Structures are given as C-alpha cells and as structure tokens.
Structure 1
Amino acid sequence: MRVDLPEQASIIAKQLVRNPTLYIDGEWVAGAGTPFPVIDPTQAMQLGEINGASTVQVEQAIMAARRSFDGGTWSRATPESRAEVLVKLHHLMVEHQEALIEIFITEGGCPRSLARTLNMEGPIESLRWIADKAARGPAGGWVRTLNTDPWAKTRGLVQREGYGVVTALTPYNVPYIAYVWKVAMALAAGCSVVLLPSPRAQLTALAFMRLVEQAGVPAGIANLVFGGPDIGRILTSHDAVDMVTFTGSNAVGADVMRQGAATSKKVLLELGGKSPNIVLPGVNPADVAAASLRRLFRNAGQGCAVTSRTLVPRESYDTYVEAARVTIPDIPIGDPWLEETWVGPLIRDDHRARVEQAVHDEVGLGARILAGGGPTNTSLGGYFMTPVLLGNLDNNAPIAQTELFGPVGVLIPYDSIDEAIGIANQTRYGLNANIWGDEEQAIAVALRIQSGNVAINGGGPQRADIAFGGYKQSGIGGEGGDSGFEEFLEFKHIIIPA
C-alpha cells in the first residue's frame, strides 16, 4: 500500500498520508480486504491504492467502539476532559490546515479557494464551537431538573447522554465538514465512532484520523475503516451499532434506512437537493447573474446545496441569458491548485459521462443550450466539463428534477411570485434555496419555500451554531449546531418520589 502525492504537495501532507492503513482500537493495521485506487481527478492519474477492511476487521472496529463506549472511558468522562481533547484537535486542524487542503485538492479536485474557505475554515470554526459545547454539563451527560409542572406528583431529572456507538458514512465532496459534523460532534456527546469515508475521499479521512489520534482520543473511541457497499452494510445493520449518520445519494440513503430498521437504529440522513435560485421582479438579472452562476458552478457543481434551477420573471429571461453568455466563459476552469480557479474536475470519468449524457438527452427532448457547453480549454487530462445553462424547458423536465452533481443549470421563466414559489417547491427535495431581491419581499418568499436553508441575496457562510438539514427527501435530522448536537444524545427520565 503506497500513495504518492503530486510534487506540489508539502512534506507535511505527504507525511499525513504515509502508509495508508485502517485505525482500529488505537492501532494502525493493514487492511485485509478489497484494494481501492486513489485517483487524482485533475490528471486522471492513479496515485496508489489503499486496502479496504475485511469483514473480520469491520467487526473488530465495531466491537472496539462498543467496548470503549460501555467501559465509560470517554462516555462517562467529565465534559472538561472531552472538551480538552477536542480543543487540541481544533488546534491540530489549524496547524495542519494547508496540508489538509493539499490532500483534498489532490484527491477531490476541489479548487484551492473553496477548499480553504467552505471546506477548511468552516469545519475549523465548527470544531471550535463543538469543543465549547462539549465542555458544558456534568460528568456523564447533561442533567436538567424538571420543575415546570406545579401539579406534578413526582420529582424528576432528565439526563442527556451519548447515544452510543455511531457509524459515520461520509461523502467525497465536503469531507472535512462531514468529519467534524459527524465524528467530532459524536465525540463531543460522549459517543464512540466508526468512520467509513467514501472510497473517493480516503486520504482526507486518513489525515483527519491521524490528528484525532494525536489529539489524545482514547483507543477504541474513534475508528477508521475503508471499504465499499459491502462494508457499509455491516456498519448500518450490526447489532452493536446504535446510530448511523450518512451523507450521500437518496438511493443509498434509502438502503441505509432499510438496513438499520431491523434493529431500530437511529438514522441521520443528509441527502440530495435540486435547489431553486429565484430572481424576484424588479431585480436587474445582469446584477445577480455572475454571483448566482458562480455559486452554481463552483467545484463543478458537486454540492448537495447547489442552486441549479434558476427562476426569473419572464420579461427578464432574455436579459439573464445575455448575462450568462458573458459570465460563464469568464469563470476560471482548470487547475485546482491555482487560487483563481473556480471550476475543477468532476470526481471520476464515469461521473462526467453521466452528467454529459443527461445534457445530451435533454437537448434531444427539445432543450436548448443557452450559454456555456463545448470543449474545456485545459491540457491537464482530467475529468473536466465546461459549465452549461439549459433553457426551453419547464420544471417537469428530467434534468430539472434530477440531482446531477455536475456543472449544469436550468433557466425557467415565471409570470408571478406565486408561480415562482410553486415551481420552487415542485420537487421531491427541500435542502436549499437562494433568493435575490428586496430583503423584505425576499424574506416573505423564503417563508413559503419548502427548504431547510434559504439564502437572501447570497446569504453567507454556514453558522456553526445552526444545524444544516432539509425538508422532504433531502434528509432526516440536521447536522451541526445545537439541534445537530442533540441528535447524538439519548434521553433519560429519572423519576423520584415527591
């Protein structure tokens, strides 16, 4: 097992991913399962491979987490001691952030500017908040005396304690966010964890787990295995697992629900989206086209919260198209190692082929390419695709209802705000939305959008204290923030005679 990072990667980054192995019960052990390639999507080059876990090793990781939780070394430790470890993990992420960014650029093809902001500054801020959260409450959990009912015939205590053994299944597009929201949040609550990253994001998980070890998390509390769907099924169905947290596609999320149902596991899902980008009447489309299109196409559209359905007043449709024809050619596509790059490669060639085929099929049904498209001007050899905006279709078109995870948007006209809201809500998803216009009017529209997150005039960074989650088939539960933290806590009512 060997992985060679590109020449531009730092020595620290190379050290973090040296000798890629599993981490089980505090020991680094060679995987005995199926090998998975490590691909650099920028150059379409295999950098090495990592052996996945065998079924025996997955069992060992789960039981290590079970023993460690039941033993109480972490689950019944003082909040101050858990917080101390998480603060150290925060310091380590800050110290190694450039190396972590380089690893993500190599493995995920994420442009440096986005890898640094959304995918590093955001998780670091969240981890600091999580460490502060872990410090609150007495040993073993969070206790509150019940005294709200003056007619109660008993005295009572409510104990909030770690949910138990958590298995975390994470995506490739926002790995560090997922590790913080799933692994660090679970640790803050006193849980034990087994992490299974996407086979397309193995190096980021390896680097993160090395920092977890250095921070002083006790043996067995945090474990790392690599593998595919067969390993995932064990982690989502095993009797010793109490909770599963998953980020990924709706199809796999449904499988996770079914696999966990037999043992009544708690399942937390962050799934897909087909989010609207609404330009309200009175807004000059030329003033917002650049910002909205750059949000759509960043990281080649590989984001669950991408606002890929743009809705504009019918009278503004042509103006928006003209603005898009100016904007899209100016969006920098190419080498993700460069600060100015906005659109890097798609994660794999077969994924690019699926996205391109979806565009081809929609054009065959009568859609028109309004802006973008055509060959990508890069000699890097990776899985690049030129952003494209489609029109001459309605919201029932397959490409307007399907999450593509690629640099493809659709433009749909509307004749009234009520119609725009109806179009926005006509989807099985409800993860995100973006609204451009007068703030008071935009907030009024936002209150009618069926979405867990709505940005007004571009919004801003995700707050560490607010959960991220969606309506409808975009998921179950929230991640991050106070309510996301509550997901990792069990409820216990202690009744005492009056």
Structure 2
Amino acid sequence: MTFPDYTRTELFIGGEWRSPQSTDTYPVFEAATGKPIGTAPMGSGDDVDSAVRSARLAFDSGPWPSMAATDRAKVLRRFASELDTRGDHTADLISRENGTPSSISRISNVAVPISILNRYADLIETGYLEEVRPSGRGATIVRKTPVGVVAAIVPWNFPHLIAMAKIAPALAAGCTVVVKPSPETALDAYVLAEAAEAAGIPPGVLNVVPADRTVSAALVAHPGVDKVSFTGSTEAGRRIGEVCGRLIRRVTLELGGKSASIVLEDADLDHFAANLPANSFINNGQACILHSRILAPRSRYAEVVDAVAESARSLVVGDPLDPAVTCGPMVTSSHRDRVLKHIGAARDSGARMVTGGRRPPAHPDGWFVEPTVFADVDNSGPLAQEEVFGPVVAVIPYVSEDQAVEFANDSEYGLAGSVWTADEQRGIDLSRKIRTGTFGVNYYQMDLGSPFGGFGSSGIGREFGPEGLAAFVEYQSVYVSAGQLPTQPVA
C-alpha cells in the first residue's frame, strides 16, 4: 500500500496557515515499521504567543462568544460533518502514528469526536447556558459565560477523542482555543484545523500549534490564557497544576491510572474474559483507563490467571491497519523500551511471568511488545503501583472481599475499575467502597453523557456530559425584579 508524504510546513493560527517562526521540526514515524511518515513544524514561544493573541482577539472582539448558542450549535454540527468526510483518512493516519488498531481508531478517533460535537450542540440548544431562578426580591438570571481563552494540551494515545473532549465543550460555551497536540501525533492535528476551517469557524477561535515541552510550558503560563485543559502524565499534570495554582488559573487535569478489576468468587469467568481485550489491553495497553490490575480470589486464582493469560495469547499482534489485528505496536521506540524495562523489573522482583514479556519475533520491525501477564504480584510492588502504559497485566490474589477493596484503593490513582459478579446488586454495593471516578459492574465502557475523570493523582475536574461543559464556563448571577425578567432565557 502506498501512502502520501504527510510532511507539513505551516501552523494554523488566526484562521490562516502561517509559516512558523522556528525552523525546528519533528519527524513522525510509523509505529508498525519504524519508517518515516512525514514531519511537522514545532511551534516556538513566538508562535504560541501569536496563537494566544489570535484567540484573545477572537474572544474579546470577535463574534463567537456573543453569538446565539443556537448559531454556535450549527457551526459545531458543520465541524462534525467535516470530520466525518475525513474519517477514513484520519483513522488510518492515527493508526500509523501511534499503533492504534484501525477498528478502534475508527471508533475512538472518528465516531466518538463527531458524537461529542453533536452532543454539545444539542445541549446548548436547550437553553442550558442561561436560566431564571426565583429569589427573595424577584429573580436571579444565572448565566454560564465562557471562561475565555483555553489552552488544550492533548496526548498521543487517543488524539482526536481527547482533543474533542476539550474543543467541543469549550467552543459550545463560547470560548476560543489553542490546541497543542503531542509531537508524536502532530500530523493528525492538521485534520482538525482543516475541518474547522471548512466548517466556517471564525478566525482565531481554533488554533493548532504542535510544540515541545518547553514551548508547552510557555503556553500554560501565558498571561492571555484563562483556562488550561491537560491530558497526560501525572508528573506533567503536577507541574501544570502548580503553575495554574500560582496564577489562579482554571485548570482541568486528566492524568494517569492504575485501575483494578475485582473478580468475585461468583463471577462468570467466560463473560469476564470476553471483556478483557477492551478493559485490560485496549489500544495496545496505551490507555489511562486500562484495568491493569486483576484482583482474583484465592479460591479461583488459578482459573483467573489462566483466563487472563489465554485472553492475552488470543490477541492478534501486527500491523494496526490490518482489520484482523487487535494489538498493535507502541507509539515510539523509546516508549517500547520503557514498557520492556517495566517487564524486566517485574520479572526480577519475583513475579511469575505467565505469557509474553518480549518483542515478538514475528515483528522485528516497528515497536511491538507481546501482550504480557504476570501472576503472584505483590499489590504494593512497582508493577501494581506504577502506570506501565503498555499491554502488561498483573494478577493479584486476595483472601476476602474486604481485602479486595483494600487492594483496589491502595493506589495513588483513582480513574477507573470494575467488579465481576453474578449478583449485580452486590457489585453496585461494592462500587460505593471504591475510590475511583468511573467504575463498571460486569462491563466497563465510557459514557459520553456522564462525567469522566479521577480521584487522587488521576486528576482534577471532569470531562464529558454537562459537567464537561461546566468546566469551560464562569457563573454569573444577575439579580432582577420580577417585572424586569425576560420572557424566556436567551439561548
């Protein structure tokens, strides 16, 4: 199959394609082959300043924030339509950049972003942004006003899904946005810019500037930014949180996870195993929601280990563009080496490696790691406590339900998790004891209509649902006499 050269030379700032004010570029490689796909320009501090100034001008003087919500909704729907027309290209490009199997990429990086845009268009058309409440001397108009200029910093694992979790609610609220994509997946960010331009989003409302960590830090601290929305590592999130705290700047941090699946004694193991690829190996293990700890009862421990190992062995490793492949490569060679280092450390710690643990001999090119399962893992050890971000699962024994809950909560993270039981009410009751932002009973699937985010070191704030839009607004209460009320809230 022949692909085009995806080399880019410009940045999308102020509704225009501009030459960067730096000569720095980033080579993007195909994760499955290690061969170059193209290059992307890396924005400089001056480019970030230009983008923020454009967004600031569009917010302070442009039509977008003052536009009727119903009109903004129409633009969001056009944006969704433009992304849809580019869907096949987008899915394949992202699969080549980061190794996501194409079947997953078509859902997560095409269908889901489109759905997010349409959902927020629906929400703001309902009058959600303004309501009237009775008060002691008349009434109060409660307005949700846009927070301002948003810095949206996006990682490489689900680039369009995560970007749209920030862009869509920000635009729906009336904000303007500077998107900083990860260099590893900088090429697909141009699809967002092209679709926004084609949809007629006003100049400066959406800007796209790939950049390295140093320039990203300048974006976070830029005086023209009102809100930072970041998805990435907990370490980076702490640094961003420190800056935003000092500046009293609004911030949403969606960070790491080390989630646990609790298998109870009465669980249907066939059903549990059928869900493992989506829960514990999704996107080649490159997902913050990964259920990478399996907590199994001593009475059924061997059965659970066998089920997890068999699920890992059943995954088809290979070219992510092949529809039959269910586990692609790591995003970069350095990330592959990091995952292999975790595997080596777990082996040295005395954990029992049941399957996997190496680069697959059938795929000497590219950045592959075999789906790997360890048994007899200590819940306090590094493999159970540190986020690997690869296809590596630890099976941990427990002796009672109370101990399973204790183990599940014994983590600095609290993003996801699940319980597997024949008694659904028992699972619901157990969920109340788990300190995590999302939790599944006999299945786990993110719900775009409900808040997503974590406890503890998994972050601050929520995305998706009305709560995701609330993260991009300030509340204004206007006290009026009943005789001065509008006949209906302004949409």
Map of 2:87 onto structure 1: 97
How does 1:198-217 map onto structure 2 within 5 Å? 198-217=182-201
Map of 1:196 onto structure 2: 180
Shift of 1:378: 2.9
Shift of 1:392: 2.0
- Aligned with 1:179 (options 152, 155, 163): 163
CA contact (8 A) 1:25 1:221 kept: yes
The CA distance in 2 between the partners of 1:257 and 1:294, in whole Å, is 31
- Aligned with 2:102 (options 106, 109, 112): 112
The CA distance in 1 between the partners of 2:214 and 2:101, in whole Å, is 32
The CA distance in 2 between the partners of 1:260 and 1:248, in whole Å, is 16
- Aligned with 1:291 (options 263, 275, 281): 275
Map of 1:446 onto structure 2: 431
Shift of 1:247: 0.1
CA contact (8 A) 2:265 2:299 kept: no
The CA distance in 1 between the partners of 2:282 and 2:374, in whole Å, is 17
Map of 1:3 onto structure 2: none
The CA distance in 1 between the partners of 2:150 and 2:278, in whole Å, is 36
- Aligned with 2:115 (options 117, 125, 131): 125
Q: 1:215 to 1:350 in 2, by over 3 A?
A: same
Deviation string for 1:118-176 (max 9, x for gaps)? 33222222221112123333xxx9332230x4xx2464322211110000000101111
Q: Which moved more, 1:406-415 or 1:293-302?
A: 293-302
1:145 aligns with 2:136: no
The CA distance in 2 between the partners of 1:127 and 1:75, in whole Å, is 17
Map of 2:306 onto structure 1: 322
SS in 2 for 1:167: strand
1:23 aligns with 2:3: no
How does 1:60-99 map onto structure 2 within 5 Å? 60-99=50-89
Map of 2:489 onto structure 1: none
Counterpart code for 2:425: E
CA contact (8 A) 1:41 1:348 kept: yes
CA contact (8 A) 1:321 1:371 kept: no
CA contact (8 A) 2:98 2:332 kept: no
Map of 1:223 onto structure 2: 207
Q: Which moved more, 1:487-496 or 1:422-431?
A: 487-496
Counterpart code for 2:290: V
Counterpart code for 2:239: D
Counterpart code for 1:198: S
How does 1:371-450 map onto structure 2 within 5 Å? 371-379=355-363, 381-438=365-422, 439-450=424-435
Counterpart code for 1:173: N
1:243 aligns with 2:227: yes
Deviation string for 1:209-238 (max 9, x for gaps)? 110111100001111111111111111111
The CA distance in 2 between the partners of 1:53 and 1:480, in whole Å, is 29
Q: Which moved more, 1:160-169 or 1:89-98?
A: 89-98
Q: Which moved more, 1:413-422 or 1:41-50?
A: 41-50
CA contact (8 A) 1:20 1:206 kept: no
Deviation string for 1:69-103 (max 9, x for gaps)? 01141000111211111111111122221111111
Counterpart code for 2:466: D
SS in 1 for 2:38: strand
CA contact (8 A) 1:274 1:402 kept: yes
Deviation string for 1:236-278 (max 9, x for gaps)? 1111110000000000001111222332110101000000011
Q: Structure 1 stretches of 5 or more lacking a match?
A: 1-5
Q: Structure 2 stretches of 5 or more lacking a match?
A: 483-491
SS in 1 for 2:463: coil
Q: Which moved more, 1:119-128 or 1:304-313?
A: 119-128
SS in 2 for 1:201: helix
CA contact (8 A) 2:73 2:125 kept: yes
Q: Which moved more, 1:155-164 or 1:274-283?
A: 155-164
SS in 2 for 1:200: helix
Q: 1:465 to 1:290 in 2, by over 3 A?
A: closer
The number of residue pairs the alignment matches comes to: 480
1:264 aligns with 2:254: no
Deviation string for 1:176-224 (max 9, x for gaps)? 1112111122111100000000111111111111101111000011111
The CA distance in 2 between the partners of 1:145 and 1:287, in whole Å, is 48
CA contact (8 A) 1:32 1:51 kept: no
Q: 1:175 to 1:403 in 2, by over 3 A?
A: same
CA contact (8 A) 1:376 1:386 kept: yes
The CA distance in 2 between the partners of 1:48 and 1:293, in whole Å, is 31
CA contact (8 A) 1:294 1:331 kept: no
SS in 2 for 1:339: coil
Q: Which moved more, 1:416-425 or 1:359-368?
A: 359-368
Shift of 1:290: 4.3
1:56 aligns with 2:16: no
CA contact (8 A) 2:336 2:369 kept: yes
The CA distance in 2 between the partners of 1:317 and 1:178, in whole Å, is 36
CA contact (8 A) 2:7 2:40 kept: no
Shift of 1:327: 2.9
Deviation string for 1:315-358 (max 9, x for gaps)? 11111222334332221011100111111000111111111111
CA contact (8 A) 1:104 1:110 kept: yes
SS in 1 for 2:334: helix
1:479 aligns with 2:468: no
Q: What TM-score do you get using the length of structure 2 for normalisation? A: 0.94
Percent identity (aligned): 32
Shift of 1:368: 1.1
Q: Which moved more, 1:108-117 or 1:289-298?
A: 289-298
Shift of 1:287: 4.6
CA contact (8 A) 2:94 2:105 kept: yes
Map of 1:348 onto structure 2: 332
How does 1:290-309 map onto structure 2 within 5 Å? 290-293=274-277, 295-309=279-293
